Chains A and B, each alone.
Chain A
């Protein structure tokens, strides 16, 4: 900032950035984790509801049976897109696919930064910060303060439609934006082909993997995109090792 600042190399500056964001990202996430568990724990332990440990464990195991794969698959899936710093934001703020990733993409498109570069990473980080602040504000004002009043004035069929169709109305636009901004026709075709195969062939054949469909598609697309990439001639000989 000022002229007296010690001149440091870009890599040292970036290393400091990584250290700061990792440390604070983890600390804030752990704080959120503890507080989000403390709330139901208080009810279970101190509200005289006669709840047994067994009841809690059975309920948790039933939920785990459905979601345990996603606990692990989602962080791995989103890591290459988000980068380390934004991981701690994304999994605390939530609504990743329908809000944070679209925001990051819009921001990268706005300044012409590519995913996977430092510029792209910073742009995504700032976009998620912007998205987080808007979201926190809206939630606190419209749900926290005005929620019980809004319940009575929004017609039930409007909230029904919002609940049922919000995701499709987001995803169509996001896909188009993604395809246009990435300009990778080959990878796009591979992704659509893989997703189609997973949903229309693999999942009907083995219904138990339905929860894994997105994870499988991501991994397969990544592997295929790598092996089917357009290679310069000189490069192809080096790959065999």
Chain B
């Protein structure tokens, strides 16, 4: 597959260049950076835990709860990634869709970039050069998110510690308000799409409500951790049924 000159600008055989060993190496490198970061963070948190008023058992519970809660969403990202493999090749999908970005932003970026070259994703106009430009554009866009994070985090932190010391009441309300605002906005954004979207949101919400109620009523702690997984699977099942049987207009 690999020759000294792998590229052929007009060829639509994307995977011939999208799966080059050097791209694999760089993708694995990004994963290694995340693993290293996690190891450093967990060690730092263990050392500082008593000072933060959290026990090491609670740290462990948090780690496990986060891991379990991520199973459903991660499997969902896996499914979407698999669907995008033929478009971008494995290394690009691993880094762009699996990490850093999301399926929604990255496919949008790729599609916008392809359009500037008079091409569309996945059809006969989607050549190796279009793929390379699209991959470059979405990587640059993703890089801007990271650069903004690198620049803004220290600035926000300075402002934040001043706010905290000046006004603790403010810092008690703002995070809760930001969270509720963000998810209310994302949720209502979904309700505007199609009846299937609306029913999926409602199903997921109802399943979670049921899990939390049962967890509280009968004191079953694990239901709290698995609630989101159940919400996602049952939500997707309802969406699948409605979508494939055509009972309702979907996307």
A18–B80 CA distance with the chains assembled, in angstroms: 36
**Are B244 and A175 interface neighbours, CB within 8 A?**
no
Check if B174 sits within 8 Å of A116, measured CB to CB. yes
Q: Does A237 contact B (CB under 8 A)?
A: no
Chain B: interface residue total (CB-CB under 8 A): 165
- How would residues 40 to 65 of chain A score, 1 for a CB under 8 Å from any chain B CB and 0 otherwise? 11111001111100011011101110
Beta-carbon contact of B74 and A138 below 8 Å: yes
Our pick among B79, B91, B92 for the contact of A159 (Cβ within 8 Å) is: B79
A151 to B137, CA, bound (A): 26
Q: Which residues of chain B come closer than 8 Å to A224, judged between CB atoms? A: 177
A68 neighbours in B (Cβ, 8 Å): 144
Instruction: Provide the residues of chain B in CB contact with A101, threshold 8 Å.
Output: 179, 182-183
User: Which of B147, B185, B235, B251 is A213 in contact with, Cβ under 8 Å?
Assistant: B185
With both chains docked as a complex, state the minimum distance between the C-beta of A233 and any C-beta of chain B, in angstroms. Answer: 14
Assuming A107-B63, A138-B74, A221-B180, what are 13 further A-B pairs, CB within 8 angstroms?
A: A24-B36, A48-B8, A55-B133, A62-B137, A74-B148, A78-B178, A129-B38, A130-B62, A130-B63, A170-B204, A190-B180, A222-B177, A226-B170
B79 pairs with A162, CB closer than 8 A: yes
22 CB contacts below 8 A, A to B, read: A17-B52, A21-B44, A24-B37, A29-B33, A36-B26, A40-B136, A43-B136, A56-B136, A71-B147, A95-B73, A110-B224, A122-B52, A135-B74, A160-B243, A161-B239, A163-B103, A165-B197, A166-B76, A171-B190, A176-B205, A217-B182, A218-B177
B177-200 interface code vs A (CB 8 A; 1 in, 0 out): 111111111111110110011101
> Chain B residues with Cβ under 8 A from A104's Cβ?
66
Listed from nearest, the 5 A-B pairs whose CB atoms lie closest are: A127-B66, A169-B235, A173-B231, A172-B204, A221-B181
**Inter-chain contacts of A130 with B (CB < 8 A):** 62-68, 70
Cβ < 8 Å to B, chain A residues 121-156:
121-136, 138-140, 142-144, 147-148, 150-151, 154
Q: How far is the CA of A235 from the CA of B167 in the complex (A)?
A: 12
The interface residues of chain B lying within 8 Å CB-to-CB of A59 are: 112-113, 116-117, 133-134, 136-137
Contacts of B50 in A (CB 8 A): 10, 13
Question: Among residues 164 to 196 in chain A, which have CB atoms less than 8 Å away from a CB atom of chain B?
Answer: 164-180, 182, 184, 187-188, 190-192, 194-196
Cβ of A142: which chain B residues have Cβ within 8 Å of it? 75, 78, 82
Contact B74 A134 (CB under 8 A): yes
Tell me whether A95 and B77 are in contact (CB under 8 A). Answer: yes
How far is A192 from B184 in the complex, measured between Cα atoms in Å?
Answer: 6
* Shortest Cβ gap from A139 to chain B (Å): 4
Contact of B98 with A89 in the complex, beta carbons under 8 Å:
no
Q: Which residues of A contact B205 (CB under 8 A)?
A: 172-173, 175-176
Contact in complex: B179, A182 (CB < 8 Å): yes
Cβ of B212 within 8 Å of any chain A Cβ, yes or no, is yes
**Chain A residue, CB-CB nearest to B79:** A162
Contacts of B65 in A (CB 8 A): 103, 106-107, 110-111, 127, 130
Known contacts: A49-B129, A143-B78. The answer to whether A171 contacts B186 by CB under 8 A is yes
A177 near B227 with CB under 8 A, answer yes
Complex partner residue of A71 from B94, B104, B148, B169, CB under 8 angstroms? B148
Asked if B93 is at the interface (CB within 8 A of a chain A CB), the reply is yes
How far is B183's CA from A138's CA once the two chains are assembled, in angstroms?
A: 26
Q: Per a CB cutoff under 8 Å, which of B99, B138, B212 touches A139? A: B99
List chain B residues, Cβ under 8 A from A81.
175, 178-179, 182
Partner of B225, one of A38, A76, A110, A150: A110
By beta carbon, the residue of chain B nearest A84 is B157
Q: Counting CB contacts under 8 A, is B220 at the interface?
A: no
Residues of B within 8 A of A195 (CB): 181, 184-185, 187-188
Does A187 lie within 8 Å of B113, measured CB to CB? no
Identify the interface centre among A32, A88, A229: most chain B CB within 10 Å of its CB.
A32
Determine whether the beta carbon of B228 is less than 8 Å from that of A102. yes
